[in-house]
Amino acid sequence: MGVRNSPVLRELEDAVSEFELACAQESIDPALRYFDLYALEIWFGCVPNRLRGLLGGLMARGAPENSIVGAVHAFLLGDPMPTTLQATRLDDEVLPEAEPFVRMYEYRLRGDTAMAARVGAELMSKRVQMHPVIDRRGGWNLFLSVQLGTTAMLAGDMPQALLHFAEAQIHPPAPVLRFLLREAYAKSALLEACDGDPELARDYAAHAAAISRTRSWTEPGVDAILTVVEALLDPDLEAADRLIATVQPGQIGEMWPFYAIARSRLLAERGAYADAERLLALLDGMALPRTRGIGYPGSIVALLRASLLLGMDNARGAEQHIVTADPELHRTQLMLALLHLNVGQPRRALQRVLDMPESGRELRQIALWRHGVLAAAHLRLEQRDECHEVLQRAMALPGRFTARDAAEFDDSVREFAVSVIPTWPEGFVVSGPFARATAVTGKHLTEREIEVLALLASGRSREEIAATQFISLNTLKTQLRSVYRKLGVSQRSAAVLEAQRRGLV
């Protein structure tokens, strides 16, 4: 469970004080040697502005550019970092992962998570193996595990992120750097709360809470992550909304895409769609670190806005957002499937989900959404046996299937499930945003009705449309009445305009 609340012999502030004393000596050698040994403790214990001044003083007094002091000073200034570092105490090359780490981090800060993930793979190939019992690298492997996990998380590779965070959790004890372990648990909890299993999120959050805080300047960011997790797991939606409102976006840092998921989900679950849209529009206009169409930073706002618009039966508006998102993300592929459902194309929705690469490490929430789309598509195609089978597979997913899980399926699927599965969870839970975007509202047109609409929009007469469809004029009139009712209009021109608004033609 990590380092618990127990006395430790040394803290971050001790390392910083000792380094400051070394910097005050006449020779810079003691400071260089000390920094070699305790670079991470000093980095996380000394606020960046103060550290930049200390290192700048050493550089002015002749510290080598290719020393660890020189490399960290260059990083703080935004200058190129030397690629081959020498340890002052050994006069030998150290930290073979340092150069790819800096490149990975700089790509991440620019929001290019795809390139960051590629460099992360390079970093892993150069990484020095962790000793299973003794920390021989001053916490460097622990630090790298957390950073690689963060990169994978932002790139959308959630199973890989959890793997890196698990590496951090089995790292040999590093009491002075315990905030890194706390960060690994907190980010695992956030990932599971947003895209995975709420029960696992609770476990990870409890692990994080059991680790005593330090005075590192990074601790408020970890606190903010845990507050977001707590809000997502709170069944009282109003209390959860008040709780997450206490988190300042600046505190959450790089994890802002998951903050956006949490805030919009809580608002949508309360039915405050307009408030959720205003929040997302505000985030969309900010100069956040992202590259449009790449990873979670470049895609999540667009996908969340699309989900809201589908819930309001605005397929055209939703599609305009979806096409800007990263096509490799599972969330993007699921939103495209929802789009097909919304415009009355269940076969295309079904195929879209079946074409998604299914991983044995898929997160539980993503798996539930996948099953929700499949079940809705089968039911709309009147494939009741197939829908039944999908629901049974959903209930067999790892973890206990709860009423909250059932709320991820649209109302028609839930009604069907109650009629055919005796063990389907009882109790009413308000449908989540994903289920609302999936739901059959009575306004979903069939594929044949969309074909008729397209012919209407082309300007053809009723007689021409009936002949094209090989149906009688009376049958066409019946179809048109159904189309008008579903679109909420009473005449041809209004039907065409409404169909264009929804992106149906």
Asked if 151 and 120 count as a contact pair (C-beta separation under 8 A), the reply is: yes
Mean pLDDT of 10-30: 94
Asked if 139 and 130 count as a contact pair (C-beta separation under 8 A), the reply is: no
User: What is the set of domains in the chain, with CATH numbers?
Assistant: 12-192 (1.25.40), 276-438 (1.25.40), 447-502 (1.10.10.10)
- What pLDDT score was predicted for residue 274? 82
Q: How many CA atoms lie within 13 A of 27 on its CB side?
A: 5
Per-residue pLDDT reduced to its tens digit, 259-309: 999 999 998 888 788 888 899 999 988 888 899 999 999 999 999 999 988
CA distance 429 to 250: 33
Which tokens hold the place of 201?
Answer: 């999120």
pLDDT at 116 over 70: yes
CA distance 243 to 245: 5
Query: CA distances (Å), 407 to each of 182, 241, 425, 504, in order?
Result: 32, 19, 10, 28
Q: Is 186 helix (H, G, I), strand (E, B) or coil?
A: helix
Mean pLDDT of 379-383: 90
The amino acid present at 386, given as its one-letter code, is: E
Asked if 225 and 185 count as a contact pair (C-beta separation under 8 A), the reply is: no
CA distance 433 to 361: 24
Which tokens hold the place of 216?
Answer: 């590192």
The amino acid present at 27, given as its one-letter code, is: S
If you compute the radius of gyration of the chain from its CA atoms, what whole number of angstroms results? 27
Per-residue pLDDT reduced to its tens digit, 254-271: 999 999 999 999 988 887
pLDDT at 3 over 50: no
pLDDT at 46 over 90: yes
Per-residue pLDDT reduced to its tens digit, 411-438: 889 999 999 999 999 766 666 667 777 7
Task: Provide the mean pLDDT of the chain.
Answer: 87
Q: What percent of the chain has pLDDT above 90? A: 53
Facing residues of 94 across strands? Answer: 85
- What pLDDT score was predicted for residue 231? 97
Higher-confidence residue: 355 or 391? 391
Closest CA to 487 of 503, 476, 498: 498
CA distance 233 to 240: 8
